[in-house]
Structure 1
Amino acid sequence: MPVSRDFGGAGCNGLEFVAAFEALAGTMRSLGFAMAAANQATLIDCIHSMGTREQQIALLPRLLDGEPGATAISERGTGTEIRALQARLTGDKHGYRLNGHKYNISLAPDASIILVAARYDDDARTHTSLVLLDAALPGIVRSGPQGTLGVRDLPIGDLQFDDVPVDRQRVLGAPRDGLKWLMHIASMNRAYFALSCASVVRPFLADALAYAAERKILDVPIDAHQYVQRRLVDVRMRAERSRWMALAALGQWLHGDPDALESCSIAKITAAQDLTQSAIDLLALHGSDGYRYGALSTFVTDALAMVSAGGTEEMHRRNVFAQMQRRRERDMKTAVYTPAVEDTAETSAESA
């Protein structure tokens, strides 16, 4: 939808896509599918917004035709901590070489196009670089889908890069400029994950409302009891809270607001917490019926995945704290002296 017509897209604006994504996530009953759609949308936006004309012509039609893409940031032991990247991009006479290992990457087992974040050392300084790779390149080895507790409909696997040849045309932007683009990508992804959390619970809440109206104890529907009503209302309130926080964060991101970096992390933390608690409440409301293997129990295990998907809570809190520190430093630099009340009074007296 947001891709220009020049590359086969519909030419819609970002808000139209947000509305469509929200409806999709709220209908599919699959958190894994919503996560896959968010990841694909993030990669498409990245190439559409930041790629060269050649990269756009070569890659966007493939992605729009349904070829899956993967964004490879996370590494074993460090997760999505950008400062700890071990995958390395080094220069050679033909361009670059990529070496490293990526861990727990969504769609890695099936991806045709892979965006990889790596460190690039230049003149004794370390930079973050982003490269766009075709999965068929020599030196790329990927695992099959890994066993996971939840989101089993989202293939997750590892990627190994052994001296992979990288043409200069495959680098997204300059090799030294990857960090700002990576933060742009990460913020978008976090906000869409938050919106997924808010949206995916809707059909399960509708199921719970119907169940509570039909389930009777001593000929009284259980939704007549206040504690049942409270659980259902709490699920609704959490979903709305997460939804509006996600929409606000996406609004900032779409308008280039620098505060979006912080807001997207806050939205992701809050939405993941809300979804987890709502899933547990829905499970408790259905009693032993919910604990049996089925749509609801699958939803509960999927919800638990959001604790770490898109970055752990601790990582997002570090990001929020870093933004708080930067804002404080900025405010201190731009602070304007305001006279105290007594100073103002003395000045007024002198003027008189």
Structure 2
Amino acid sequence: MYFAFDEDQEEFRSSLRRLLSERAPLTRVREVAEEGGHDGETWRLLASNMGVPGLHVAEKFGGGGFSFLETALVAQELGRALTPVPMVTTTGAIEAVLRLGTEEQQTTVLPGLLDGSVIGALALSGSDDTAVGAAKVRATGDPSAPSLTGRLDYVTFGHVADLLVVPALVPAGDAVALYLLDAHASGVHVTAQPSLDLTRPVATVEIVDADARVLGADPVSIGRVVNLVRTLLANEALGAAEAVLDMAVSYAKQRVQFNRPIGSFQAIKHKCADMAIAIDAAQATVMYAAMCADQDNDEFARVAVMAKAQASECLTLCAAHNIQVHGGIGFTWEADPHLYFRRAKATEPILGNNAHHTELLADLVGI
């Protein structure tokens, strides 16, 4: 199987990369991080002008009608640039409405999410939030018009979200459903929290008897939504890892030690080679996961878990090696390598760490 984007997709990648380099370079990323970690201007441009949240959504819903590969490509470029925009979490919310929502909900909710006027957040704060025994929120009252109560920690971009998609125990307590919750409604209190990754802010969401709308409790559809988010996170991590390798190679060519570029030293060559090998291996898995997501086939669940684990591990290795290549300056605030290392360490635990994903994969394949 050939794991690569076609000519049109690569042209789209080039256009997007140019846009991000002009509108959201790392200097801009640092400024946004100090202001709260959300580049609203860039997000509105990406959403309204380029339609990136809904590239793979059917045109009848207001989407672009492209394949999921285009959406995966966007995630890679946003990861490469560390652009602080709510792409993954909003796309997760869109997919939840598409998979579980009624026709009326799709008609009324999707347009705002697709054009960027509404920021969505798929409020998954742990590895097993969609499991009955681990849900942190509970629905009470009339099942068709429930109230939610509970607390969610570490909701990505929760402090700027307008609409939350919340997993919660149904009133009967025997299943988990996804619910639509207005982030500004009475009974919803969102508090921004410090984040290790300055480009991916998090928030605590406290919910007390807040009115919500039920999307659905079909476990297969919910699993599809979660695995799609895993796949997008894997693509972000892959893009960031490629940027880190480029950064390390560029520095190794320029930095001179003992009258020679440090890239001529065997130890530096080995680190860069290890990074390149890890990226090549991760790319095959991540691309296959995106293809499976596009085809919605039976392999998707297994491959999405593999992609998240492998891409996360790849980024951690590359980010750490990049700091070593840069030497002492790599640890300083003024240098950029630490931004990618922060992204790597913050990506690891999202939806469960690598150990959790290994156990999950073992269960999926029956071993």
Decide: shared fold, TM above 0.5: yes
**Which residue of the other structure, out of 199, 217, 231, is the alignment partner of 1:153?**
199
Superposition deviation, residue 193 in structure 1: 0.9
**Which residue of the other structure, out of 225, 230, 236, is the alignment partner of 2:265?**
225
**Which residue of the other structure, out of 197, 200, 213, is the alignment partner of 2:253?**
213
**Which residue of the other structure, out of 343, 352, 356, is the alignment partner of 1:311?**
352
**Which residue of the other structure, out of 84, 91, 97, is the alignment partner of 2:141?**
91
Superposition deviation, residue 118 in structure 1: 0.6
Asked if 1:290 is matched to 2:330, the reply is yes
Change (3 A) 1:93 1:196: closer
TM-score (norm 1): 0.81
1:1-352 → structure 2 map (5 Å cutoff) = 1-26=55-80, 28-30=81-83, 33=85, 36-66=86-116, 67-74=118-125, 80=129, 82=131, 83-92=133-142, 95-122=145-172, 126-143=174-191, 145-149=192-196, 151-166=197-212, 170-173=213-216, 177-293=217-333, 294-325=335-366
Superposition deviation, residue 94 in structure 1: 7.0
Superposition deviation, residue 79 in structure 1: 5.9
Does the CA contact (< 8 Å) of 1:198 and 1:240 recur in 2?
no
Instruction: State the secondary structure of the residue aligned to 1:114.
Output: strand
Return the alpha-carbon distance in structure 1 between the equivalents of residues 143 and 113 of structure 2.
31
Change (3 A) 1:301 1:313: same
Determine what percentage of the aligned residue pairs are the same residue.
24
After superposition, the C-alpha distances for 1:33-77 in whole angstroms (9 at most, x for unaligned) are: 4xx3122222212223432221112111111222211112326xx
Superposition deviation, residue 250 in structure 1: 2.1
Equivalent residue number for residue 344 of structure 1: none
Return the alpha-carbon distance in structure 2 between the equivalents of residues 79 and 322 of structure 1.
14
Superposition deviation, residue 121 in structure 1: 4.5
Does the CA contact (< 8 Å) of 1:194 and 1:243 recur in 2?
no
Change (3 A) 1:128 1:267: same
Change (3 A) 1:25 1:222: same
Superposition deviation, residue 310 in structure 1: 2.8
Return the alpha-carbon distance in structure 2 between the equivalents of residues 51 and 9 of structure 1.
16
Return the alpha-carbon distance in structure 2 between the equivalents of residues 228 and 85 of structure 1.
46
Q: Which runs of 5+ in 1 are unaligned?
A: 329-352
Return the alpha-carbon distance in structure 2 between the equivalents of residues 136 and 91 of structure 1.
21
Superposition deviation, residue 184 in structure 1: 0.8
Superposition deviation, residue 137 in structure 1: 2.2
Does the CA contact (< 8 Å) of 2:124 and 2:167 recur in 1?
yes
Superposition deviation, residue 117 in structure 1: 0.3
Return the alpha-carbon distance in structure 2 between the equivalents of residues 93 and 126 of structure 1.
13
Change (3 A) 1:136 1:215: closer
Superposition deviation, residue 292 in structure 1: 1.3
After superposition, the C-alpha distances for 1:260-288 in whole angstroms (9 at most, x for unaligned) are: 21221121111111111111111001101
RMSD between aligned residues: 2.1
Does the CA contact (< 8 Å) of 1:2 and 1:11 recur in 2?
yes
Return the alpha-carbon distance in structure 2 between the equivalents of residues 20 and 12 of structure 1.
12
Does the CA contact (< 8 Å) of 1:42 and 1:189 recur in 2?
yes
Change (3 A) 1:93 1:71: closer
Does the CA contact (< 8 Å) of 1:199 and 1:243 recur in 2?
no
Q: Which runs of 5+ in 2 are unaligned?
A: 1-54
Equivalent residue number for residue 347 of structure 1: none
Instruction: State the secondary structure of the residue aligned to 2:210.
Output: strand
Superposition deviation, residue 220 in structure 1: 1.6
Does the CA contact (< 8 Å) of 1:72 and 1:117 recur in 2?
yes
Equivalent residue number for residue 336 of structure 1: none
Return the alpha-carbon distance in structure 2 between the equivalents of residues 241 and 94 of structure 1.
47
Superposition deviation, residue 153 in structure 1: 2.5
Return the alpha-carbon distance in structure 1 between the equivalents of residues 222 and 60 of structure 2.
25
Quick check: 280-289 or 203-212, which moved more? 203-212
